Structure formats: C-alpha cells, structure tokens
Structure 1
C-alpha cells in the first residue's frame, strides 16, 4: 500500500466478511458463540460463563443483551472500567500515529511512562524500568534478575506457599500451587516455598546462598491474604542482611488497587524490584518491572532479556492515560470510600464470617463451602464476582466503582447466599 492510499482500506466492521463483522459488532446469541468457542479454542479455561460483547464503566452486556455489574474487573485489570472515554481516545490517537516499533527503537510514551513509574514509586537515583506485556512476563524478568544476582553462588530463590506469580516456567516455578506445577515438571531448579507469614521460617531459610525472596504483599489468588507489617519489615531487614534481593510482586495490588499506588511501599517496605501489570494499562496489556537503585538496575545487561511487544507506543500510551485519570480525578479517595462501604456492609451480612478489604481488593469468607454457588447465583442476578477458594469470594472491581453500585451488590448478597445454600443442599441430596 502506497503512502497516497494509506488509510483507504476498510475502516469499520461492516467492511469485514459477514462472520468477522458479526464478531466485531457482537451479533449472534450466546449459545451460538459458545458452540463456535468449543469448536475453535483450547479448553484451558473450561467453558466460558457468558459471551460478553460490550462494556461501559463498571457495566458489561452479554450476547443476549443481559446487563451485569462487573465486580471482578477482568481480575483487577480494568482499573477504570470498560471503554473509559479518555483512555480509549488516547489509545486510538496513539494507534493512528504510531502503533508498534521494534526494540531497536524507543518512543516518547515509553520514556514518559518509565519516568512516571519511577516518580510514583519514589525510586532512588539509578532506578530503571523494563516493560513487558503481562504480569507473568514481568515475573519472568524478575526470575532472571534473581538468577543474575550472585550467579551460581546464590542458587536459591524463596517464595511463599499460596503465592501466584504466573504460568510461564520461571513464574510457575515461583508459584506454589501443586496442581499448576505438576503437569509441567521438572520446574527450573532452586525455588523453595516457605510457610505463609512465618517470620521464623523466613529467618531460618535466608542465608548467603539465597538470590532473592519473591513475595506478594497481599495474595490475591489465595483469597486476599495479607502479609503482616511485621513480616514485610522482617523480609526487608533479613534480605538486606544476607545480600539477597527482595522482589515484590504487585501485579494485582499495584496501581491504586489497595487505595495506595503500591501496597508494599505504603506499608513502609521499599523492595529491590517490583513487578506490575493488570491495572497499569487500564485494560490494555502491559507489564513492568521497576528496579530500585543502581545495584539491581545493572543486573541485566544488553541482550540478556527482551520482548517484541513490551513497551510499545500504544500500551505505554494506555498506561499514561490510566495513570493520568487516577491522579487527576481523585480515584484513590474513591477506592478507600467504596472499600469502607464494602467492609462495613459485608461484615453485617449473615453468612459472612470474615472480611479482608484492602482498597478494592476484597476477600470475604462464607460460613459454608458455597462460594462457587454464590458466584453462579450472582451471575444469574447480574453480578460478576469470583471464588478463589471454596468458601471465599473475591471482589476486584473498577477503581471508579460508585457507592450506589457497591450498595446494589450488598443489598442483593443475602438473597444470593440463600440461593447458593439451597443449590448446595439440592446437589448433596442427589
């Protein structure tokens, strides 16, 4: 295509083939789309619960026209909900200007985003940023960073039971769940998993052969479990004492999710490296690792790591737009206000036994193992939530969720628990 006729190619869904136009415009029933899904996609996620075709703010609609309040936010990804007008306009503008360049080049948005993340994290002089496409890729970079620290003299990487760091091989080695790991063993060697929140176990395991300790300040996949302030302090002191890196996985907790920019730094613990993703791009795929100070920032040299798409102009523009809205529209204050409403309302709900609310990363336990049934009842009632454990519900909604939207779920929850309890009893009777 010559420069003269650039931009004259088909420009909207009606110019696509009939089948592809239907995909872009969302026409067709959920049943039709699910049949096509089964025939064409790998079953690694199981059967999809619904076929979603459109979103606006915290609301989404399925192929059959049903509306849902999205209280999961793409698992803590859609920081500003769906189709945020400013973010989408910035993405469209950047894509129309410069979409992708190889890593032989850089772009203004890539540089500006790196500078912004260093500013928000109060990183000291000499700190650096590497961009990837996802949380697991950011954690792969962290795995290599750890391997580079001390070389063969430090063969051990410590992680925690209950932790989740991704599904690529290095990230998976640091992930504790046996069911995820066993089918793909042997894992990369040298990773040990310690008991959660156990300072004595940490003290016993940390010595001069440990390259790094990799932890999440709050374990999301384990049901929203926080490490104590004492544990985080001990982790910082002990890793520093033994010359090991402290790597904080803030893929789920970072970028305002907990009501602070970064959960670990808000708790007074500055790591040697921190991984980010999920909410950073406001729904557009991007991941990052920040290295703090000159030492960690010099561990990976030219040619030792890379990425094709990481830090591309569109992804970094999306992240800049997301951070701009979070900063300028008082979103973090909203996170804390809505979090307080959830915490208070959930604690008063019959059948809820414990609430763990950290901004808009919320886990609450039920008196019975009915969490999957509650998820199903909620979906039928128009709410999208998640069950990371048999008795635990997780909420990770858009950070601009309104008080009224949060209250609508709290009002509906008692009936959802009743419906789920009845469904569980019926299941047991057969």
Structure 2
C-alpha cells in the first residue's frame, strides 16, 4: 500500500485531507512524494514559525536530544527555566505554566481564571465571556468556550459556564457583564472563525470593564502569538496588559508545547 492507502485504512479521519502526500521540505518550500514543489503559505496553521527544517531549530532540537529528551516536572531543567524567563521578559508577567498544546494552554487559562475568582469571591462567579466565531480548542471545555454552534454538537454535554458576545459589539458586551462573570477571553484576531480583526475600541472596552469589575482579561495567543503580527504577541499592538495569556503553535516551531503566562 502507498501512504495514502495506509492512512485511509489505519488513521481515524477526524480531519479532511487534500490529495497531497508531503515528504520533505526546507524553509517555505515543501515537496510531495513525487517531488512536486509547493510554497508553504500555511506554516502548519501557524506552527512552523521559522520555516520547514530551519537550521538553527534543527540544531537546537538535536542538541537537546543528545542530553535528555524528556523528564517529568518533578525535576528542574535548564530549558524550561530559561524559556519561562524569556516569556516573562517579553510580557512583563511573572509566571508560566507549560503544557503540550494550545487546547491545554486554554484549559489552563480557564482554570486559572476560575480559581482566582473562587479564591477571592467564592462560588457563583465562574462564567467566562468569549466571542462569537472564536475558537479555543477541541477538548470538551475549550469547545464549550468556542463561540461557534457548529462545534457544540455530537460530544455533549459540554462544560457549562460560557456565554458568547458578538465581536466588536460594545453595547452587547456591557449587557453581558453580570455578577457571575469572572473573565473575558478573546483572540485579538480570530483565526478559525474567519480571520476577523477586533477593533481597538472594543479591546480597550474589554480592558476598561476588566479593571472596573475585577474581571480577568484572558487573551488567546495560540495562533497569533510568537511574532505573527509584528509584535511578539498580538495584544501588544493594542497597548493592553492582559491578566492571562495562552500560547502554543509557533512557540516550539513544530514540537508539542503550550504555555499559560500570568501574574
């Protein structure tokens, strides 16, 4: 069997595929099994931030593989500490929690937001506002956080505690600020929902509400972070300071890594 036949037989097809079997690449160029050349405009949906098989990236990965490829979080490791320091320097925040994916980073951000509110205010203040056409991941909770009805099927019941505001609708946002809200979570540029830009006015209104009501501002930078918008994180283009930032994808350039930055 060829690769496509093996894939069709043994891989669970939760995603549709183009009729292309990629075999190698370099920089912005990819090649299929027959040697046909492609220009990579997708960067693995925001993952291969340095390009395919970037020399410096390959060298860093190979060097670490000759030391230790994995250890549990029961022990200190130099790369973990150094990356956490770098992310805190770039954001002005204090702490980093590392995970394995964007969905896991967003799960962490949701948990941190709810824990902050529970510790300070007790029960009954756990609702998180997200935006219509947002996308925050494919776990049960991050699907619930995603403001697209097409994702709220099949796998129910979903995690409760989310409500969805139309992007850039300041009036509706203010109407949704009730006593049970602990956080507002958003992407500065919506990706899966259609590449929709938030207005500066709307983002500033989120910041104003968050400061006045002690509601946490959570920015999902899984796809927009790590240099994809001209700043290290997209929120930095708006001059705001979130309480929590989640990121992944380009963070490790192709290795499974996510992070929640806060404090």
TM-score (normalizing by structure 1): 0.59
Partner of 2:224: 253
Which of 111, 129, 132 is matched with 2:96 structurally? 129
Deviation beyond 4 Å, 4+ runs, structure 1: none
Partner of 2:233: 262
Which of 105, 108, 118 is matched with 2:78 structurally? 108
Partner of 2:260: 289
Matched, 1:170 2:137: no
Distance, in Å, in 2 between the alignment partners of 1:149 and 1:226 is 29
Q: Which runs of 5+ in 1 are unaligned?
A: 1-30, 294-430
How far is 1:32 from its partner?
1.6
Matched, 1:58 2:37: no
Partner of 2:184: 213
* 1:91-240 correspondence to structure 2 within 5 Å: 91-123=61-93, 127-151=94-118, 152-240=123-211
Q: Which runs of 5+ in 2 are unaligned?
A: none
SS in 1 for 2:31: strand
How far is 1:150 from its partner?
2.1
| Alpha-carbon displacement from aligned partner over 1:190-212 (angstroms, at most 9, x marks no partner) | 11011111111111111332111
| Alpha-carbon displacement from aligned partner over 1:66-113 (angstroms, at most 9, x marks no partner) | 110000000011111100011101100101111111111120000000
Given that 1:208 and 1:244 are in contact with CA atoms closer than 8 Å, whether structure 2 keeps it comes out as no
Query: Which has more helix, going by share of residues?
Result: 1
Once the two structures are overlaid, the 10-residue window that deviates more, 147-156 or 242-251, is: 147-156
Distance, in Å, in 1 between the alignment partners of 2:130 and 2:228 is 22
Distance, in Å, in 2 between the alignment partners of 1:120 and 1:146 is 21
Residue 235 to residue 114, structure 1, CA distance change in 2 (3 Å):
same
How far is 1:284 from its partner?
1.7
Matched, 1:84 2:54: yes
SS in 1 for 2:130: strand
| Alpha-carbon displacement from aligned partner over 1:198-251 (angstroms, at most 9, x marks no partner) | 111111111332111110000011221111111111001101211111100011
Matched, 1:37 2:7: yes
How far is 1:170 from its partner?
1.4
| Alpha-carbon displacement from aligned partner over 1:145-172 (angstroms, at most 9, x marks no partner) | 1221322230311100000000001111
How far is 1:48 from its partner?
4.2
Distance, in Å, in 2 between the alignment partners of 1:49 and 1:176 is 30
Which of 229, 243, 248 is matched with 2:214 structurally? 243
SS in 1 for 2:164: strand
Partner of 2:247: 276
Distance, in Å, in 2 between the alignment partners of 1:111 and 1:212 is 28
Distance, in Å, in 1 between the alignment partners of 2:237 and 2:150 is 33
How far is 1:65 from its partner?
0.9
Distance, in Å, in 2 between the alignment partners of 1:265 and 1:162 is 22
Given that 1:206 and 1:239 are in contact with CA atoms closer than 8 Å, whether structure 2 keeps it comes out as no
Given that 1:155 and 1:211 are in contact with CA atoms closer than 8 Å, whether structure 2 keeps it comes out as yes
Distance, in Å, in 2 between the alignment partners of 1:287 and 1:155 is 23
| Greater gyration radius | 1
How far is 1:182 from its partner?
1.1
Number of equivalent positions: 259
Q: Alpha carbon RMSD of aligned pairs, Å?
A: 1.2
